[in-house]
Amino acid sequence: MRELHHFLNGEKVKGTSGRFGEVFDPSLGTIQAKAPLASKSEVRQAVEYARAAFPKWAAVNPQRRARVMFEFKRLVEANMDELARLLSSEHGKLIADSRGDVQRGLEVIEFACGIPHLQKGEYTESAGPGIDVYSMRQPLGVVAGITPFNFPAMIPMWMFGVAIACGNCFINKPSEKDPSVPLRLAELFMEAGGPAGVLQVVNGDKEAVDAILDDPDIQAVSFVGSTAIAQYVYARGTQNGKRVQAMGGAKNHAIIMPDADLDQVTNDLIGAGYGSAGERCMAVPVAVPVSDKIADALVDRLKRQVEGLKIGPATDSDAAFGPLVTAVHRQKVIDHIALGVKEGAELLVDGRDFRMQGYESGFYLGASLFDRVTPVMQTYREEIFGPVLQVVRAKDFDEAIALPSQHAYGNGVAIFTRDGDAAREFASRVQVGMVGINVPIPVPIAYYTFGGWKRSAFGDVNQHGTEGVRFWTKIKTVTQRWPKGGVRDNPDFVIPTMK
């Protein structure tokens, strides 16, 4: 069995806490490695290395920092196949999906390569008599990211790409379920010319998380995970004076208007609902057809396709999705399906009894489809995070808008329609942070920003894009005057103005 490591100050470092987490192969259901779980002192060592590296890295001019990011991008692309296979072996998602995971992270690295422009300040000449005013964006110092299991390549790169390009030193605490890709990315960053201590990876569980949140030298923390932990991270981090962005759970809706192309909608819902076994914060687990007539036609199409979905190991290029990440998570999804039946929802396709021939010990679960789910049901209110699609029928447009707007989560939403006026009104009125119009998974491109509303996000600054630059920097404003000579006769006790 492999024993993984931390990556500190440019080197692989064995854990010293004596505690380890199990890393599974979800396709086989077997333990393939153990990851060290860092103690508070090990986290502190990473902070010390980052503190030592920060002054020199922050002083590197933006063009040279960008060159490191360009080379890092090239190396990740050159090692794409290795990274995708490694990711799939620990997460379980299909290799093609893993390549997409890496690629979406690389798009933010591409954005970060533009840091010489992105980090520019502003300048006003003659803001007052002989007075110029300018601003500059400076790095915060030592910062950290706590990243989830479902996107072990994309989300770390979303965070550290912008943070490091801005001149910070970054500590990544990845999920202990699949930490190998974050570790490999740190190695590639060193190969790209990144100095030791600028990007480090500390494996761990709650002890490491609390050490990050409590450490006085860590200035900012970015988190992605469940809502309960996001709220905890935000509360504890801000209580300790840190800048925190904490992205939580989701229950994304797809509104299907009567004029929508139902064949296209069905394909989009199948992909967005069941891709990656539903383990995406931007998956679409709720379909909202407007009117019973549309609902009946849609459900008929969905049922036929869901029953025919092929499930297989990550290496099966013909499969729709692979196993879930752990047996514990698989059981959690099964319990949600049972609860939905108990609450009175109509289970049209039941994936609980699926077994993969030759992979009987793997963490597989078949696709499930519910109809006539109602907003009062617990399974509607909570995030399931598995291959389960729920149909909630709406009688009209206003009721359809109200469903995602009144839900506790507000990450993403989509509307399918041919009516531009209805789409425009929907985008304006719906109380959700990211909106798709005939786009089922509205994850913004890298130079826009990612972030939900309500219990899907804590903090007021989003990830990546220009919001990311804002989050990972602090602004300094300078007001300057260069007197031509002579001394004023008397001191001026009145507050200066530009009158």
Residue 197, classified by CB atoms within 10 Å of its CB into exposed (0-12), middle (13-18) or buried (19+), is buried
User: pTM for this one?
Assistant: 0.95
Confirm if 26 and 363 have CB atoms less than 8 A apart.
yes
Sign of CA dihedral 417, 419, 420, 422: negative
Which segments of 4-64 are extended strands (E)?
6-8, 11-13, 20-25, 30-36
Determine which helix (DSSP H) or strand (DSSP E) holds 368, and give its type and residue range: strand 368-371
DSSP state letters, 403-423: HHHHSSEESEEEEE-S-HHHH
Q: Token pair for residue 138?
A: 């400076």
Overall size of the chain counted in residues: 499
Q: Round to whole Å and give the CA distance between 14 and 10.
A: 13
DSSP state letters, 271-321: HHHHGGGG--TT---EEEEBSHHHHHHHHHHHHHHHHT--B--TT-TT-SB
Residue 338, classified by CB atoms within 10 Å of its CB into exposed (0-12), middle (13-18) or buried (19+), is middle
Beta bridge partners of 144: 171, 221
The third-level CATH classification (topology) of the domain covering 253-437 is: Aldehyde Dehydrogenase; Chain A, domain 2 (3.40.309)
Confirm if 57 and 163 have CB atoms less than 8 A apart.
no
pLDDT by 10s per residue, the chain, length 499 = 899 999 999 999 999 999 999 999 999 999 999 999 999 999 999 999 999 999 999 999 999 999 999 999 999 999 999 999 999 999 999 999 999 999 999 999 999 999 999 999 999 999 988 899 999 999 999 999 999 999 999 999 999 999 999 999 999 999 999 999 999 999 999 999 999 999 999 999 999 999 999 999 999 999 999 999 999 999 999 999 999 999 999 999 999 999 999 999 999 999 999 999 999 999 999 999 999 999 999 999 999 999 999 999 999 999 999 999 999 999 999 999 999 999 999 999 999 999 999 999 999 999 999 999 999 999 999 999 999 999 999 999 999 999 999 999 999 999 999 999 999 999 999 999 999 999 999 999 999 999 999 999 999 999 999 999 999 999 999 999 998 876 667 887 888 776 6
Q: Round to whole Å and give the CA distance between 113 and 162.
A: 9
Q: Round to whole Å and give the CA distance between 467 and 451.
A: 10
Token look-up 């692989």 returns 12
Domain boundaries, the chain: 2-248+456-478, 253-437
Q: Round to whole Å and give the CA distance between 434 and 456.
A: 11
Q: Round to whole Å and give the CA distance between 185 and 161.
A: 11
Token look-up 């004596």 returns 18
Number of H helices and E strands in the chain, helices first, is 16, 23
The pLDDT score that the predictor gives to residue 494 is 83
Q: Which residues are catalytic?
A: 281
The pLDDT score that the predictor gives to residue 488 is 67
Q: Round to whole Å and give the CA distance between 43 and 215.
A: 9
CATH assignment of 2-248+456-478?
A: 3.40.605.10
